[in-house]
Structure 1
Amino acid sequence: MTTTPLPDTETRGLLALLPASARPYALLARFDRPIGWWLLYWPCAFALGLAGGLQAQWPMLGWMLLGAIAMRGAGCVYNDIIDRDLDAQVARTRGRPLASGAVSLKAAWGWLLLLCLIGLGVLVQLNQVAALIAIASLGLVAAYPFMKRITWWPQAWLGLVFSWGALVAWAQVEPTVPLAGLLLYAGCIFWVIGYDTIYALQDVEDDALVGIRSSARALGSGVRLGVGVFYMTTIACWAGAIWLVRPDWLALLALAPLAAHLAWQLATLRPNDPQDPLIKFRSNRNAGLLAFLAFATVGLAG
């Protein structure tokens, strides 16, 4: 059975270079859509920057990038194992390798194990406290695929999961995670809720038909206001984190480019457009870069 890349795939050219037998596994781990591992990676980089660890801990930028790629892939494989029946009922996801039958359930479990072993290789690079915090995330990760069945806000749970790297990275720099680190983590959570609500706009109609819950469905016509509240809370939390590290009004200006970018997302968002929510969602890779530059600037100056 052939595997057709999903509509939001980004790297059809690179995917085409793989042997035909390997392509379904690359799709299953979402290697064709790097935006996911960028969004998982950025909170790690944020914490390394703001905690002042970029000089002493600079190799962690590479290790945590590898970990983000591997563990995001593992999370996608696990999610598809759990959601394979639901995925077959949604237009955007019915072409996924498990839902379409291109990869067997047994092979998917084997691929998941291999990705987790790569993640283990990254885990042993961490100090004991950071490693324990990383391991503590596994329960959240395991529960996430079930959230869309039991709550209207699975995006909030995803926020807890995708932001966890901020706690891990901060603990890698310092023996504890102070209030500044917790505010950084909180801001990441609200950022995730905001951008994943935008992402969920693509599936509102199909989700309603099969009974999948999401923040986009919960907010309805108020989705723009809701995302605006999430993004403003993000900026407020991150400004608080910066202030605790460097109590200087000029330091807060480092967030201005990011705030402008998020405002652009909100002002130009077209919820009912088939393509625009995906464009705005993907632009959060650039939002993450702007945030990283802000945190790195403050951390290096402090």
Structure 2
Amino acid sequence: MTTHLPDAAPTNWVDRHAPSALRPWLKLGRFDRPTGIWLLMLPGWQGIALAAAMESRWPDPLLMAAFFVGAALMRAAGCAYNDIVDRDFDAKVARTAARPIPAGQISVRQAWVFVVACAMISLAILLTMGPVAIGLGVASLALVAAYPFMKRITWWPQAWLGLTFNWGALLGYAAVTGRVDWPAILLYAAGVFWTLGYDTIYAVQDLEDDALAGVKSSALRLGDAAPKAVLGFYVTAFVLALAAAWVGGLGPLFLPPAALFGVHLSRQAARLDVRDGVAALALFKSNSLAGLLLVIAMTAGMWDGPASAL
């Protein structure tokens, strides 16, 4: 039996430090759960680092900061939109019943205002980038809009989340180069499988509630086979990340941190227990470090020779 978890740790910074009037709004944007911000931002950083490494230079810190702010705001907008769409489902799931909309702390109309405000600020940041990056940013809205409905029509909403969350890899690469090349496409594909793995782990928390509510997920579809499937997703992600580095001509210093990335993913799959929701949440959260290791690997790849050295 999986263990039910609160939507965020009771020691999160919002509950401890934020003014009471702001807490529902911060929770609507999931600022009490920063792991999601990292997981949305890190593919963008990976794309920036890959493009910079191909030009043998450091990633632009100002561009990386812009991606951090943009990811935080778009994640907040996406979570609020998701809560608007899923408010009836959320009320039936123990982990999500206390979210601001199903709990009656924020109305649907107020939540829409929040979504639009976050999106407009993000758009202002996006407009500072080149036309290809701007086009990619606008195109991502179709993925965001469709995501909440995937759990109603497919057992694999985690795959759609992968397509959505890793769009930043293409956008970050395009923000540096002004185009999208094969290294960026391979990196994006690697991210899709990475997300398919970690979000399957995340879905382990809600196995019983999702089944009762009629919500579909990869964790429900896979059942006891989830650990082996997650390992397969992660192996595919690792191979595709190597391919992105090879096609991009990165040097051999890419390999040591990339190896740590691979080891980190394999340990997650080995430790996954579909009956232990608490451990699954911890494994999910550890992907912030996994994604950062790949950023470091891409950055390190700017040194020491062509792809033939890999």
Relative distance call for 1:240 and 1:104 in structure 2 (3 A) is same
**Structure 1: runs of 5 or more not aligned:** none
Which residue identity lines up with residue 295 of structure 2 in the other structure? F
Q: Which residue of 1 aligns with 2:134?
A: 131
Relative distance call for 1:116 and 1:247 in structure 2 (3 A) is closer
Structure 1 residue 242 and structure 2 residue 245: aligned?
yes
Task: Write the mapping of 1:30-69 to structure 2, written as runs, cut at 5 A.
Answer: 30-52=30-52, 55=58, 57-69=60-72
2:222 to 213, 219, 222: 219
Task: Say whether the 8 Å CA contact 2:251–2:303 is kept in structure 1.
Answer: no
Which moves more between the two structures, 143-152 or 14-23? Answer: 14-23
CA distance in 1, matches of 2:6, 2:128: 35
CA distance in 1, matches of 2:265, 2:227: 12
Per the normalisation by structure 2, the TM-score is: 0.92
Structure 1 residue 205 and structure 2 residue 204: aligned?
no
Q: Which residue of 2 aligns with 1:151?
A: 154
Q: How far did 1:254 drift?
A: 3.7
Identity of aligned residues (%): 44
CA distance in 2, matches of 1:137, 1:118: 16
Q: How far did 1:177 drift?
A: 1.1
Q: How far did 1:52 drift?
A: 1.2
Per the normalisation by structure 1, the TM-score is: 0.94
Task: Say whether the 8 Å CA contact 2:197–2:230 is kept in structure 1.
Answer: yes
Q: Which residue of 1 aligns with 2:89?
A: 86
Which residue identity lines up with residue 63 of structure 1 in the other structure? A
Q: How far did 1:11 drift?
A: 5.3
CA distance in 1, matches of 2:161, 2:302: 27
CA distance in 2, matches of 1:56, 1:188: 19
**For residues 80-120 of structure 1, what are the alpha-carbon distances to aligned partners after superposition, in whole Å with 9 as ceiling and x for unaligned?**
00000010011111111001111111111111111112211
**For residues 231-274 of structure 1, what are the alpha-carbon distances to aligned partners after superposition, in whole Å with 9 as ceiling and x for unaligned?**
00000000001111226666434411111111111122222113
**For residues 193-240 of structure 1, what are the alpha-carbon distances to aligned partners after superposition, in whole Å with 9 as ceiling and x for unaligned?**
000000000001110001100000111111011100100000000000
Which residue identity lines up with residue 68 of structure 1 in the other structure? A
Which moves more between the two structures, 278-287 or 16-25? Answer: 16-25
Which residue identity lines up with residue 153 of structure 1 in the other structure? W
Task: Say whether the 8 Å CA contact 1:51–1:299 is kept in structure 2.
Answer: no
CA distance in 1, matches of 2:10, 2:41: 18
CA distance in 2, matches of 1:162, 1:19: 30
**For residues 19-61 of structure 1, what are the alpha-carbon distances to aligned partners after superposition, in whole Å with 9 as ceiling and x for unaligned?**
2121101001000000001000000000111111663633110
Secondary structure class of the residue paired with 1:102: coil
Q: How far did 1:190 drift?
A: 0.3
> Root-mean-square deviation (CA), in Å?
1.8
Relative distance call for 1:301 and 1:87 in structure 2 (3 A) is farther
Structure 1 residue 118 and structure 2 residue 139: aligned?
no
Q: Which residue of 2 aligns with 1:176?
A: 179
Q: How far did 1:7 drift?
A: 4.1
Secondary structure class of the residue paired with 2:277: coil
What is the count of residue pairs matched by the alignment?
Answer: 298
Task: Say whether the 8 Å CA contact 2:253–2:304 is kept in structure 1.
Answer: no
Q: Which residue of 2 aligns with 1:97?
A: 100
Relative distance call for 1:252 and 1:203 in structure 2 (3 A) is same
Q: Which residue of 1 aligns with 2:29?
A: 29
Task: Say whether the 8 Å CA contact 1:10–1:32 is kept in structure 2.
Answer: no
Task: Say whether the 8 Å CA contact 1:242–1:252 is kept in structure 2.
Answer: no
Which residue identity lines up with residue 132 of structure 2 in the other structure? V
Which residue identity lines up with residue 158 of structure 2 in the other structure? Q
Secondary structure class of the residue paired with 2:101: helix
Q: How far did 1:293 drift?
A: 0.6
Task: Say whether the 8 Å CA contact 1:49–1:300 is kept in structure 2.
Answer: no
Task: Write the mapping of 1:248-263 to structure 2, written as runs, cut at 5 A.
Answer: 251-263=254-266
**Structure 2: runs of 5 or more not aligned:** 306-310
1:228 to 211, 228, 231: 231
CA distance in 2, matches of 1:198, 1:167: 25
Q: Which residue of 2 aligns with 1:8?
A: 8
Task: Say whether the 8 Å CA contact 1:243–1:252 is kept in structure 2.
Answer: no
Q: Which residue of 1 aligns with 2:308?
A: none
